[in-house]
A and B are shown apart, each in its own frame.
Chain A
């Protein structure tokens, strides 16, 4: 937010600048997680129902977060913060469980072992997302004459 004067009118700031990269990363994860869960549930749901349901849940959370960050306005921001918080809790809980009780996760999800199969991006992404949204809402709260 070094140069608010260059930004477009209104509250579209969340998806511009670094936010644009964030939306791209979230969109790719939304697509990847949803597609993966879709294939798993359609072809071999019986093998690891818990893991596949979690994959599907992760996919939905990523979709909601993507839309939440990409859309402007306070409500969208709240939706984004809520979904990213769910994502952070999810990756921490599922990550810990998949290490403590590997038998419960016979097949991987995006969140297994804190997202190690995805270069730990699932662990870093919600932290970056929350920091970015906090920055955007602060910049909006500050009076820009």
Chain B
């Protein structure tokens, strides 16, 4: 895992969450810019997954490999799944779905970092 990337994902995710919460409170549905934002966030997450996989292939092992892979797979799934699920709902509750996903994501990134290197955090 790359620390800078983890921090970037956490900040980007929280920014998305704030944006989507504002949209929810303004009683607007999700629009295409929200989807673009989620796509960028997803690319960042995928980048972290690819880097981690390369590192693992290179012999670097997380403290708990199975748990790490489980978390990583879940984290990679969440942005596209929630973006799709939220976009289908054409009310204020669409962005609310994304806001939830973007609040969960940083928490899971912290957990992922802990599983990767328990001594580091």
Question: Closest CB of chain A to B66's CB: distance in Å?
Answer: 5
Question: Closest CB of chain B to A19's CB: distance in Å?
Answer: 8
Give the interface segment out of A23-31, A49-57, A83-91: A23-31
Known contacts A18-B93, A20-B86, A20-B93: does B70 contact A27 (CB below 8 Å)? no
Task: State whether the Cβ of B91 lies closer than 8 Å to any Cβ in chain A.
Answer: yes
Task: Report the tally of A-B residue pairs with Cβ distances under 8 A.
Answer: 52
In-complex Cβ contact of B82 among A16, A19, A24, A32 (8 A): A24
Task: State whether the Cβ of A73 lies closer than 8 Å to any Cβ in chain B.
Answer: no
Known contacts A16-B89, A24-B86, A31-B74: does B97 contact A39 (CB below 8 Å)? no
Tell me if B67 and A21 are in contact (CB < 8 A): no
Known contacts A25-B100, A27-B81, A31-B77: does B70 contact A20 (CB below 8 Å)? no
Known contacts A27-B81, A28-B78: does B93 contact A21 (CB below 8 Å)? yes
Tell me if B73 and A24 are in contact (CB < 8 A): no
Tell me if A20 and B89 are in contact (CB < 8 A): yes
User: Among residues 7 to 59 in chain B, which have CB atoms less than 8 Å away from a CB atom of chain A?
Assistant: none
Known contacts A17-B91, A18-B93, A31-B77: does B85 contact A23 (CB below 8 Å)? yes
Task: State whether the Cβ of B96 lies closer than 8 Å to any Cβ in chain A.
Answer: yes
What total of chain B residues lie within 8 Å of the partner, measured CB to CB?
A: 23
Interchain CA distance A119-B108 in the complex, whole Å: 12
List the B residue with the shortest CB-CB distance to A38.
B70
Q: Which 10 A-B pairs have the closest CB atoms?
A: A35-B70, A20-B89, A24-B97, A39-B66, A39-B70, A21-B96, A20-B93, A43-B66, A39-B67, A17-B93
Q: List 26 A-B contacts (CB under 8 A).
A: A16-B89, A16-B91, A17-B89, A18-B93, A18-B96, A20-B85, A20-B86, A20-B89, A20-B93, A20-B96, A20-B97, A21-B93, A21-B97, A21-B100, A24-B85, A24-B86, A27-B81, A28-B101, A31-B77, A32-B74, A35-B71, A35-B73, A36-B70, A39-B66, A39-B67, A43-B64
